[in-house]
């Protein structure tokens, strides 16, 4: 049995060795992607695109968070506990078997401005998403074109290196034969070294560009291939138009403008937080008899089911901390407006 077991192990080892050799001899086939496909993959796999989508979702959720404060917020719970003497409150509510609370904003000038700020911030994120989209497309196209350019030059660079090596060999033979001077041999070696350097630089550029394109598209770098035929001809460069129109259509400028408007609304809302506000509030509770209610209220007066409906009015007439917070918001609004001017200058 032992010799047979050893023979089986030898056969398995030989089979595995053969499979490894076959896999090594046949490399992974390159996946040729066109320029259009590279842009589509970059928009789907790029971290910048995912970040833009997350920022857009966050801005929309913030807008809904502010707007939904006008909707009643319902809470159902219970405040169970024993009482000694008069039943005291548990976290602001009387001990009860079941209690239901509802609250919503009715009149709140600050909240209205905060909603406007969140809405404009959401619009700003939409413009920033367009700007990031354009930037991803631009980066992918430039990297793809640069990679194609270097790959097309590789054959010529290799041929130049071979030619300079042959010229160097001929020059060295002529120097040894005494036909040419030593200076001629040095010039031939220098030309060969320069050709080899250009080839190495081209290979390094291809490796860097291929790695960057792989990170953008999600295609493995070892199986990434380009299609030079998919590159369209460059269109004619239009004449420089009106800078004002370029600024109006620029996503970067539109983002800065919407962000500045949002910061202005936010600053005004911080100031209006010192204004009076009115909230709707209601509460319903089912009281328990074991909390000594019947000892303080006769049986014909005590009511287990109780409800309250009304409004809560607030007058924040003295709040130094909020004053300082409003001044901070004013400074941020000024900074956002200056960013609009700086962005317009960059676009123009």
Q: Which residues contact 64 (CB under 8 A, 6 or more apart)?
A: none
pLDDT at 91 > cutoff 70: yes
Give mean pLDDT, residues 200-222: 90
Residue 312: inside a domain: yes
Residue 346's pLDDT is what?
Answer: 86
Cα-flanking dihedrals φ and ψ of residue 22, to 5°? -65, -45
pLDDT at 156 > cutoff 70: yes
What rounded mean pLDDT belongs to the chain? 85
Judge whether 85 and 292 are in contact, CB under 8 Å: yes
pLDDT at 12 > cutoff 70: no
Residue 236's pLDDT is what?
Answer: 66
- How many of the other CB atoms lie within 10 Å of CB of 275? 13
Q: Fill in the DSSP letter of residue 240.
A: P
State how far the Cα of 144 lies from the Cα of 40, in Å rounded to an integer.
13
Confidence of residue 6 (pLDDT cuts 50, 70, 90): low
Q: Which residues contact 167 (CB under 8 A, 6 or more apart)?
A: 188, 191, 192
Residue 91: inside a domain: yes
Q: Fill in the DSSP letter of residue 84.
A: S
Cα-flanking dihedrals φ and ψ of residue 278, to 5°? -130, 130
Residue 25's pLDDT is what?
Answer: 43
Task: Encode pLDDT of 242-275 as tens digits.
Answer: 666 767 778 889 999 999 999 999 999 999 999 9
Residue 30's pLDDT is what?
Answer: 58
287: left (phi over 0), alpha (psi -120 to 50) or beta: beta
Q: Which residues contact 24 (CB under 8 A, 6 or more apart)?
A: none
Residue 36: inside a domain: no
Highest mean pLDDT, choosing among 118-132, 160-174, 228-242:
118-132
Confidence of residue 81 (pLDDT cuts 50, 70, 90): confident
- Terminal-to-terminal C-alpha distance of the chain: 86
Residue 27's pLDDT is what?
Answer: 45
Residue 313's pLDDT is what?
Answer: 95
Residue 62's pLDDT is what?
Answer: 95
In DSSP terms, which residues pair with 281 in a beta bridge? 103, 310
The residue assigned the tokens 């008899």 is 289
If DSSP states are collapsed to H, E and C, what string results for 18-64?
HHHHHHHHCCCCCEEECHHHHHHHHHHHCHHHHHHHHHHHHHHHHHH
User: Of 135-149, 229-243, 268-282, 294-308, which gets the smallest average pLDDT?
Assistant: 229-243
Burial label for 3, CB within 10 Å (0-12, 13-18, 19+), is exposed
Percent with pLDDT over 90 in the chain: 45
Confidence of residue 26 (pLDDT cuts 50, 70, 90): very low
Give mean pLDDT, residues 100-112: 95
User: Of 7-11, 163-167, 290-294, which gets the smallest average pLDDT?
Assistant: 7-11
Residue 54's pLDDT is what?
Answer: 93
CATH of residue 110's domain is 1.20.1600.10
Give mean pLDDT, residues 292-296: 78
Residue 325: inside a domain: yes
Q: Which among 107, 84, 145 has a CA at the least distance from the CA of 278?
A: 107
Residue 1: inside a domain: no
Confidence of residue 172 (pLDDT cuts 50, 70, 90): confident
Burial label for 102, CB within 10 Å (0-12, 13-18, 19+), is middle
Coil vs helix vs strand at 103 = strand
Residue 124: inside a domain: yes
User: Of 152-156, 202-206, 292-296, which gets the smallest average pLDDT?
Assistant: 292-296
Give mean pLDDT, residues 102-127: 95
Residue 17's pLDDT is what?
Answer: 53
Domain span at residue 256 reads 68-232+249-347
Residue 120's pLDDT is what?
Answer: 96
Confidence of residue 14 (pLDDT cuts 50, 70, 90): low
Task: Encode pLDDT of 43-67 as tens digits.
Answer: 988 888 889 899 999 999 999 999 9
Residue 33: inside a domain: no
Residue 22's pLDDT is what?
Answer: 46
Judge whether 122 and 274 are in contact, CB under 8 Å: no
pLDDT at 340 > cutoff 70: yes
Q: Which among 29, 27, 26, 24 has a CA at the least distance from the CA of 219?
A: 29
Report the domain count for the chain.
1
User: Of 19-33, 131-145, 313-327, which gets the smallest average pLDDT?
Assistant: 19-33
Looking only at the bridges linking them, the beta strands covering 224-226 and 31-33 are: parallel
Residue 335: inside a domain: yes
């Amino acid at each position: 049995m032992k010799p047979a077991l050893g023979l089986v192990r030898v056969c398995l080892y030989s089979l595995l060795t053969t499979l490894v050799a076959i896999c090594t001899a046949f490399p992974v086939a390159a996946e040729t992607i066109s320029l259009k496909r590279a842009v589509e993959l970059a928009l789907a796999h790029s971290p910048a695109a995912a970040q833009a989508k997350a920022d857009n979702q966050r801005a929309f959720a913030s807008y809904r968070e502010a707007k939904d404060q006008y909707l009643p917020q319902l809470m159902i719970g219970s405040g169970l506990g024993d009482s000694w003497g008069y039943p005291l409150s548990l976290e602001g509510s009387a001990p009860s078997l079941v209690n239901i609370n509802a609250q919503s904003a009715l009149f709140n000038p600050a909240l209205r401005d905060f909603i406007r700020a969140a809405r404009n911030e959401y619009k700003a994120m939409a413009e920033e998403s367009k700007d990031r989209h354009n930037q991803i497309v631009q980066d992918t196209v430039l990297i793809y074109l640069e990679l194609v350019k270097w790959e097309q030059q590789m054959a010529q660079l290799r041929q130049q290196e071979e030619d300079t090596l042959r010229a160097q060999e001929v020059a060295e033979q002529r120097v040894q034969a005494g036909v040419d001077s030593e200076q001629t041999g040095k010039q031939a070696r220098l030309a060969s070294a320069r050709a080899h350097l250009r080839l190495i630089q081209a290979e390094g550029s291809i490796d860097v560009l291929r790695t960057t394109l792989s990170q953008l598209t999600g295609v493995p770098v070892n199986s990434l291939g380009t299609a030079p035929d998919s590159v369209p001809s460059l269109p004619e460069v239009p004449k420089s138009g009106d800078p004002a129109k370029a600024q109006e259509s620029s996503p970067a400028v539109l983002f800065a403008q919407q962000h500045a408007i949002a910061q202005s609304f936010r600053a005004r809302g911080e100031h209006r937080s010192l204004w009076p506000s009115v909230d709707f509030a209601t509460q319903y509770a089912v009281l328990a008899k074991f909390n000594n209610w019947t000892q303080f209220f006769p049986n014909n007066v005590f009511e287990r089911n109780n409800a309250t409906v009304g409004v809560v009015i607030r007058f924040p007439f003295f709040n130094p901390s909020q004053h300082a917070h409003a001044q901070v918001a004013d400074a941020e609004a000024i900074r956002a407006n200056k960013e609009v001017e700086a962005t317009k200058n960059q676009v123009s």
